[in-house]
Structure 1
Amino acid sequence: MWKAFVSILMAWSLANLSLLPAFVEAETGGAARQAAQQEHPQTDEPITVTVVGDILLDKSVGKQIERHGVDYPFAKTAELLKQADLTVGNLETAVSKRGSPEHKEFTFRARPETLAGLANAGFDVVNLANNHTMDYGMDAFLETMRHLRENDIAYVGGGKTEEEAFAPYIRTIKGKKVAIIGLSRVLPNQKWFAGKNKAGLAHAYSGEPMLSYVRKAVEESDITIAIMHWNLEYKDYPEPYAREMARLLIDNGVDAIVGSHSHSLMGVEWYKEVPIFYSVGNFVFTTPRNPKGSESLIVTLTFAQNKTDGKIIPAKIVNGQPVPLTGEDAKKLRGKVEKLSYRAGIDEEGTVTRK
């Protein structure tokens, strides 16, 4: 029954996406963007944003934390993450001591104290719009947001209302407003969708209300980055809807897109000088059932002089801990991502170039 529901919902949402008016691009990319630039004059100083994939602090990772402390998952990457002006990840778990597991194959719930490791590693904001944040029900979800606030970690993609769930996290960096938005096209059912007066997650199953909130975020900022939870597990290439949606977001002013959920690496695409990282894989995760789940990318986006650059650092997850790769191992993983990419190359430094 659920598969039938998903098929109907995806077909309906794609139809709605294709009917969106063509003037949206000009409306957002024109006057609104110019107004934002006038309010916050551009500087030559580059802004760096580092983004990683799925972070799980439960199961075997939770046991490692119990043995070695909250900083264990990030021991090999924390110094790297702290170098960015802003660091973002996808938090793939509820964080609470409350609630009962949902009726689904995998449910995750981490202990509140584990969030200190995220904070210590330099994470500024996490995405909650994914298929595990509400694994233990509404009370645990509300507690997850409270525990994040208590650890001074911002969050996007979830909230007590639709407006809060779709709202961007905005920080002024070097004179520019940088916005992070979180969206999911992978949710168990509509009960997880945020509503006007209902707590939940920001979904991307239809053009609206998503695009209205995206345009608002673009209008309020100078740089907008979308963190997407989408595509199918362990696949090498994005679904057709993901490529269509990425273009739609960019047409509406988004400056970079970074995806996760597939537990595998996918390629990079450039569209209108904007990079799309379809999947950066897991980051902190349990031992996967598929070797693809151990492959990870750390992506650093650099924004300067109206130009966006991207760089990847390949990593391998060992005992729940991401370890940056070097030498031939790094070269091999860079080559894999390049082969999976669309009109994009990756040099020996990991810099993503346009082809």
Structure 2
Amino acid sequence: MPNAAPKPVIHIINGFMNENGGSEQEALHLAGLLRDRSELALWSSSSRFSRDLAQRYGIRRIGLRPGTRPEGGTFVFVGAHWRHTAWPYLVRAPRRLIYVFNTFHPKILSLTAAHPFMLRWPRTEYVAISDFQRSLLGVECEVQPSPIDIARFSPSPDPRPDNARPVIGRLSRDTTDKHDTDDIPLYRAWIEDGAEVRLQGATQFSAASGDALGAMLRMQILPEGAVPTVAFLRGLDIFYYRTGAHVETFGRVVLEAMACGLPVVCHRRGGYADWIRHGENGFLFDRSDEADQLVRTLLANAGLRKTIGERARATVETMYSAKAARERADFYLREPR
């Protein structure tokens, strides 16, 4: 019987600084897809890496000594890049070089597209996480949605009672650019109509608003990571999302909310909009008055919330089926072209 072909060697490189960060979660989920089909290693490119993450997932900090740096195989950079560091000049060149663009920083294109001659690395292959992002980048890309564990992100086994006070909520990193000040009067109006509003990752936004948020009754403002994401989402009836200066090239949390069977009401500017079919599995808006009307319609109709939430869940089940995940993983495992 012939020997089985050796597994491809894959190195996933990320800062691994923040357990709640979308970039870190994407790198870890990608590792989960590839672990059984490759010789896999996880590397941190940052001196500020999380030692807790490193211990749990076997992540190594890249160094200059042999054995402390990736060698050969396929290098997959997820939200990190290789410029302005010394270690790339010391390693055996990768056979493939893949950069997963999980945010939008145009200057990184110039940093990653061309390499110093001495490296003799292969051309960079790009992976975008939405068609929205690919159009922003304007380069040839493989498009793969950011991976989500839909077994973990799933509807609550104990649905909220129909007569419970409806809860509108959202979560994100705790930065002001993840929020829009135009949402403050919307939150106030929905609370006045009898709803509760919960914002996780909004303490900086609240402080910047002069505590206009904290003064509202039935408004819960939590720091980032205060409640585990799945538990937080399962406590909502409607997921609402709009950002300020920050542009979501994917918006993982929106798809996680859909996976939990929530109806989502989201600003149209974001990569998540590629998968939301307005009025069928979620809702998209351009203006605040549209957002207000959509949320009020859902608040008044528990049956509609249930129907849209079920369709949202069906959408992510198709996106993240075992077959779809395997096909996406095939991209990283193939031979250089």
Higher relative contact order (CA 8 A, sep 6+): 1
Name the TM-score, length of structure 2 as normaliser: 0.30
State which structure, 1 or 2, has the greater radius of gyration over its C-alpha atoms: 2
Normalized per residue, the structure richer in strand is 1
Name the TM-score, length of structure 1 as normaliser: 0.29
